[in-house]
A = this chain, B = another copy of it.
Amino acid sequence: MSLPLLEQLIDAFRILPGVGQKTAQRMAYHVLEREREGAQKLAEVLAKAIERIGHCTQCRDFSETEVCAVCANSSRERAQLCVVESPADRLAIESATGFRGVYYVLQGRLSPLDGIGPRELGLDALGTRLQQGEVQELIIATSATVEGEATAHYLAQLARANNVRPSRLAQGLPLGGELEYVDRGTLSHAFGTRTEAT
């Protein structure tokens, strides 16, 4: 009754995150009705990206080249190494802070039940790098989730074992947040770790 190719297209859109049958259908109709040129471009760029974008051999972030632009930049300080879970996290830190060091992207977090151990996150390679002595501070910027905390704990131990100082992003009230809407865990933690007022 309907088009095999149109149905294939709708199906294909469902690989995108948060896209179900209805949204996929809307996307397919939208590009066919109004965005044929843009869709042509998307198809080309997508094919090219899948083919060419690999991982930086130094930081494991996505990169078209063997070493990504940040790692290849000689003006970045190699003594500070910031460990993040994902490329999106790296981007967030890069755009929000003035950090001038380098990154290490885990591409995940420790999750033994899913078969994701230290090796899958490249922590063996990270250990080797810490041993070499160039890194002085390991800034651990994993998520504040259970798995993120477990990963952070592992990273801190790895750093100490190699005489590198581990640090962790500060936890507490978010800036601009109303106290009454902050969750109990955060509030309790912030109360317990209160600092001297200035």
A→B interface (CB under 8 Å):
1-6, 8-9, 12-13, 15-18, 23, 25-33, 35-36, 38-50, 52-53, 62-64, 68-70, 86-88, 91, 94, 107
Contact = CB atoms under 8 A, between A and B. Distances in A.
Contacts of A4: 64
Contact of A53 (B6, B23, B48): B6
28 contacts: A1-B70, A2-B91, A3-B53, A3-B62, A3-B69, A5-B48, A5-B64, A6-B53, A6-B62, A12-B41, A12-B42, A12-B45, A13-B42, A15-B39, A15-B42, A16-B31, A17-B26, A17-B27, A17-B30, A18-B26, A29-B87, A29-B88, A31-B49, A32-B49, A32-B62, A43-B43, A43-B50, A47-B47
A59 to B, nearest CB: 13
A15 B27 CA distance: 9
Contacts of A26: 17-18, 88
A25 B69 contact: no
A53 B25 contact: no
Contacts of A31: 15-16, 46, 49-50
Contacts of A9: 45-46, 49
Contacts of A62: 3, 6, 29, 32
A1 B8 CA distance: 37
Given A3-B64, A26-B17, A29-B87, A46 B53 contact: no
Interface centre among A4, A28, A64 (most CB of B within 10 A): A28
Given A32-B49, A36-B50, A45-B12, A88 B25 contact: yes
Contacts of A53: 3, 5-6, 32
Contact of A12 (B15, B18, B46): B46
A44 B45 contact: no
A25 B95 CA distance: 14
A44 B47 contact: yes
